[in-house]
Structure 1
Amino acid sequence: MSKKRRNHSPEFKSKVALAAIKGDKTLIELSQQYGINSNLIVKWKRQLIEQSSEVFASSKGLAPDRESEIQSLQAKIGQLTMENDFLSKTLGR
């Protein structure tokens, strides 16, 4: 019989990783509390520590590549709005 893989939300992962960083409880206690393997906790903790600098990468709290992505998506929204308006006028709505 095979076990089903569980997908954990980013919120859950960050909550567990922050609890591990605090150090109030041992890895064994945390793994029992959250019902996950202690290796996962170590992995998530390492990821949180390594990627924490990305939060402070820009003054807005977003990485520069995310800002360019937001701008391109806003441009796409504007384009689609114009096309939608044009088509609704053309079709007589």
Structure 2
Amino acid sequence: MHADFCIEALKEVLVRFGTPEIMNTDQRSQFAGSAWVSALTDAGARISMDGRERCMDNIFIERLWRSLKQEAIYLEELTDGFKALSVIRDWINFYNTERPHLNAERPRTHTSTVEMRN
């Protein structure tokens, strides 16, 4: 991933969703460079970076993404963005309502769920 691509994507996100209070990234060069840091600070966001070799910082979200890819995305032929969005929405609904979790039972309540924004 190139820094220019990341900065353009960041600008689009800021326009569409507004400035986040905190932006967390890893320490890859595109996120540690002055252009990225300036874009965030100019927008008013605080910057948070995971420590080196701190894979545990994002373990829960990394596990979620792994499950999504292995249980849905890699099993489908995603011909366009509409198909991808449909597959991802269906899987997140399944994850929140039916998928067995560590206790090998269906989730009973939704005190915390993963949701997608339109």
TM surpasses 0.5: no
- Identify the structure with the greater helix proportion: 1
Higher Rg of the two aligned structures: 1
Q: TM-score scaled to structure 1, two decimals? A: 0.29
- Identify the structure with the greater strand proportion: 2
